[in-house]
């Protein structure tokens, strides 16, 4: 019997049968073994058939038989890396670890970029306790796995922001390869984008325990720490990365972003400028520099950076939107034509298309073409809505649960249990309500420092929501009824320590301006009973439309639908009204419209609530050159003007869903 097919037709039949065996290895190794045996009867000692038969024996939990076949095959074909990979796996499964290591090392000597063999070797070295060698093998695996077909669909899903699809694929892969550090790292990214921060962090810690030298995982870990304001830890990880690779541009960019989070904008700008000297054709670097410059108040330099990003990459929709987001900057006709071309480009990525829709909408708005403007705001929000899961019932139910937990009796029983420190001034409410203006007014007082939107309270609420008391009662805010009262003081003091890194001035008070903290008013009161809480409110239609036409960076999925915005606004008003009842006078409310009409009177009342003497600088807040990093950065550097108060009326014909959902809510402070 011939060992190889004798003619073309026979060769085609042979290849078809061989492919069938290969496919069956994953689903039915017993049948694959039978078909391989039959094929070997016709083509004795054919190496590919023998390899598949050896793999089939491995998968059938018969490593001794697999070793017999694969050992014989390896002697005849010493330069066949796939043979040595499966020989190594079979030897490991037969508890012959030393022989397995020799086989796997031979596989990677023959084929240095053999990712599967590097992973198998690393996995075995971990099991044998050789951490240093395992780390080296893991990092080499990570260097060569980019083209692995097992990961390609997951890579595409992540690039397309299909995070749920990526999560499903990666969890299936990790079930088979539990120590695949690249899959673990990718899964961490997929679930972090879905808000599963704690599991994401745990996955990255697992990666780094397996492979301390896997800098991609360390970089991702540092990014998560930074996003959640765990800045000392983020700085430490950043320093480790730069010590390992001081010239790595991604690690230098990370350091720049950390500087931004710490409000060290000049240091961040210096890093970006050096990087741009080396990589002038990276549009994302120009974009990042522009973001820093606008926070510093360097408007013209910022716009120049955004336009350089566009020159490098005309499809960078975020650069166009960033120019549009500088509220009083107008686009030229040439720029308008360029945006129109991109909006109509069928091959444009969705994320860029969203940015172009919002930028084009702002351009049309500036030209008083309100129907066309709204059409593009609607298209951009529609694309965003399809990519983000949001259930308005979640916040509505949360409000009802808060009203059940946070009663007068609940607070009376815990009076004075929190930290005595009175440093924080919380400004909360809804985005686009005027909170940045109030922050700028207060930050212009000599005793108050403005910081930024601090995530510590939200992070604590999330961590409390993951507690399980073991008796069926769990979750936040219900968990607060179970916590020992002394913990409130601990949590309050921890908040002060965690936010200390954001305080650059020696002032007794600082501002935490995270709008979403309205949902945690009860928690703030428990932890920091002496802190000030200021609720900034704006006409529901004006605020709602301003939210709809603002493209937020992250995690405000309610903003993509007018009805969802209306529901969110109603829930917010209902929850704050509840706290007005159970904690009368605890929250100071400022209505944006009243602040515009009677600025000095409202500012005096605000300062009185905060226990601060009146200072004229608070009325000249627009002269305060402090850095501001919200979309209102340019507006708060100008004197108060009334023209925007009823601006939403230009779009009233298209705001029916918002108006109907808001219903008969009062238009101003009750």
pLDDT digits (tens, 9 = 90+) for 608-640: 999 999 999 999 988 876 666 555 555 555 566
360, 343 contact by CB (below 8 A): yes
Strand order in the sheet with 509-512: 448-450, 509-512, 424-429, 532-537, 587-591
Which CATH fold would you assign to the domain 193-387?
A: 1.25.40
Evaluate whether 139 touches 207 at the Cβ level (below 8 Å).
no
CB 544 within 8 A of CB 562: yes
CA distance 598 to 279: 51
d(CA 220, CA 183): 13
The whole-number pLDDT of residue 311 equals 96
Of residues 112, 47, 48, 106, the one with CA closest to residue 79: 106
Same fold flag, 8-144 and 420-662: no
pLDDT at position 252: 95
- With both helix axes pointing from N to C terminus, report the angle between 181-192 and 131-144 in degrees, rounded to the nearest 10: 70
Cα(463)–Cα(483) distance, rounded to whole angstroms? 13
Asked whether 623 and 290 are in contact (CB, 8 A), the reply is no
Sign of CA dihedral 560, 561, 564, 570: positive
Whats the size of the chain, residue-wise?
670
CB 544 within 8 A of CB 658: yes
Query: Both tokens of residue 196?
Result: 């599963």
HSE of 660 in the Cβ direction (CA atoms, 13 Å)? 7
Determine whether 429 is exposed, middle or buried from the number of CB atoms within 10 Å of its CB (0-12, 13-18, 19+): buried
Distances 658 to 401, 538, 576, 663, 664 between C-alpha atoms, Å: 25, 15, 20, 9, 12
670: exposed, middle or buried (C-beta count within 10 Å: 0-12, 13-18, 19+)?
exposed
Architecture of the domain defined by 8-144: Alpha Horseshoe (1.25)
Q: Domain boundaries in the chain?
A: 8-144, 193-387, 420-662
Adjacent-strand bridge partners of 589 = 535
- Confidence (pLDDT) at 470: 45
User: What pLDDT score does 3 carry?
Assistant: 60
The pLDDT of residue 122 is 83
Nearest to 554 by CA among 449, 431, 376: 431
Q: What are 590's strand-pairing partners?
A: 536
Nearest to 123 by CA among 162, 82, 174, 158: 174
Structure tokens at 266: 């000049």
Phi, psi of 583 (to 5 degrees): -130, 65
Q: Are the CB atoms for 421 and 496 separated by under 8 Å? A: yes
Q: Which residues contact 433 (CB under 8 A, 6 or more apart)?
A: 515, 536, 537, 538, 543, 592
DSSP-derived pairing of the beta strands 532-537 and 509-512: unpaired
In the block, tokens 């990365």 appear at: 241
Could you tell me which CATH class the domain 420-662 is placed in?
Answer: alpha beta
Cβ(141)–Cβ(122) below 8 Å: yes
Q: Residue 134 and residue 213: Cα distance in Å, rounded?
A: 10
CB 125 within 8 A of CB 133: yes
Residue from 575, 574, 608 nearest 590 by CA: 608
CA dihedral 599, 602, 603, 607 (to 10 degrees): 180
What stretches in the chain show pLDDT beneath 70? Answer: 1-7, 466-474, 554-555, 625-644, 666-670
Q: Report which of 507, 486, 553 is spatially closest to residue 287, judged by C-alpha positions.
A: 553
Residue 399 to residues 385, 436, 477: CA-CA distances in angstroms?
23, 25, 10
- Among residues 583, 613, 619, the alpha carbon closest in space to that of 599 is found at 619
Question: First-to-last CA distance in the chain?
Answer: 95
Q: What are phi and psi of 429, to 5 degrees?
A: 140, -140
**What is the model's pTM?**
0.78
Q: Where are any strands of DSSP class E within 527-668? A: 532-537, 587-591
E strands, 476-603, are: 509-512, 532-537, 587-591
DSSP annotation of 418 reads: S
């Amino acid at each position: 019997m011939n060992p190889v097919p004798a003619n073309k037709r026979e060769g085609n039949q042979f290849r078809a049968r061989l492919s069938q065996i290969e496919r069956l290895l994953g689903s039915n190794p017993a049948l694959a073994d039978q078909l391989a045996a039959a094929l070997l009867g016709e083509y004795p000692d054919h190496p590919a058939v023998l390899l598949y038969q050896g793999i089939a024996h491995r998968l059938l939990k018969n490593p001794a038989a697999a070793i017999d076949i694969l050992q014989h095959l390896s002697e005849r074909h010493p330069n066949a890396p796939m043979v040595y990979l499966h020989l190594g796996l079979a030897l490991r499964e037969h508890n012959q670890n030393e022989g397995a290591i020799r086989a796997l090392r031979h596989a990677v000597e023959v084929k240095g970029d053999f990712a599967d063999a590097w992973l198998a070797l690393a996995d075995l070295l971990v099991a044998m306790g050789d951490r240093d060698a395992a780390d080296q093998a893991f990092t080499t695996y990570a260097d060569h796995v980019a083209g692995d077909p097992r990961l390609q669909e997951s890579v595409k899903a992540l690039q397309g922001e299909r995070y749920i699809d990526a999560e499903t694929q990666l969890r299936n892969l990790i079930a088979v390869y539990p120590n695949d550090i690249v899959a673990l790292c990718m899964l961490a990214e997929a679930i972090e984008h879905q808000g599963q921060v704690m599991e994401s962090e745990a996955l990255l810690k697992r990666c780094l325990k397996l492979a301390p030298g896997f800098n991609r995982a360390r970089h991702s870990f540092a990014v998560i720490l930074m996003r959640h304001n765990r800045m000392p830890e983020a700085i430490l990880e950043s320093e480790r990365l730069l010590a390992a690779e001081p010239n790595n541009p991604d690690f230098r960019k990370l350091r720049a972003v950390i500087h931004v989070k710490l409000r060290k904008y000049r240091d961040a700008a210096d890093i970006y400028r050096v990087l741009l000297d080396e990589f002038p054709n990276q549009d994302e670097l120009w974009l990042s520099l522009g973001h820093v410059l606008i926070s510093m108040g360097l408007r013209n330099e910022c716009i120049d950076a955004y336009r350089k990003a566009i020159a490098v990459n005309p499809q960078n929709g975020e650069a166009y939107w960033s120019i549009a987001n500088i509220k009083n900057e107008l686009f030229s006709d040439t720029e308008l034509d360029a945006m129109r071309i991109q909006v109509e480009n069928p091959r444009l990525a969705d994320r860029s298309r969203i940015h172009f829709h919002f930028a084009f909408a702002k351009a049309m708005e500036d030209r008083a073409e309100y129907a066309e403007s709204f059409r593009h705001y609607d298209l951009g929000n529609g694309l965003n809505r399809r990519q983000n899961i949001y259930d308005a019932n979640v916040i509505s139910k949360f409000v009802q649960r808060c009203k059940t937990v946070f009663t007068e009796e609940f607070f009376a029983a815990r009076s004075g249990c929190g930290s005595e420190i009175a440093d924080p001034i919380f400004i909360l409410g809804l985005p686009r309500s005027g909170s940045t203006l109030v922050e700028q007014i207060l930050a212009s007082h000599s005793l108050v420092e403005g910081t930024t939107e601090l995530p510590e309270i939200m992070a604590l609420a999330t961590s409390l929501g993951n507690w399980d008391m073991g008796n069926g009662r769990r979750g936040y805010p219900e968990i607060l009824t179970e916590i020992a009262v002394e913990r409130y003081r601990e949590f309050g003091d921890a908040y002060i320590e965690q936010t200390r890194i954001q305080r650059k001035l020696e002032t007794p008070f600082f501002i935490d301006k995270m709008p979403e903290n309205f949902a945690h008013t009860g928690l703030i009161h428990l932890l920091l009973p002496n802190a000030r809480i200021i609720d900034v409110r704006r006409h529901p239609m004006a605020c709602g439309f301003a939210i709809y036409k603002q493209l937020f960076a992250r995690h405000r999925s309610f903003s993509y639908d007018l009805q969802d915005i209306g529901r969110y606004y109603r829930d917010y008003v209902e929850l704050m009204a509840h706290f007005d009842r159970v904690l009368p006078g605890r929250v100071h409310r400022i209505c944006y419209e009243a602040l515009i009409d009677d600025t000095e009177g409202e500012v005096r009342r605000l300062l009185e609530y905060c226990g601060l003497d009146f200072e004229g600088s608070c009325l000249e807040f627009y002269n305060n050159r402090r850095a501001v990093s919200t979309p209102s950065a340019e507006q708060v550097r100008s004197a108060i003007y009334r023209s925007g108060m009823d601006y939403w009326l230009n779009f009233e014909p298209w705001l029916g869903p918002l108006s109907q959902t808001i219903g008969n809510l009062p238009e101003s402070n009750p």
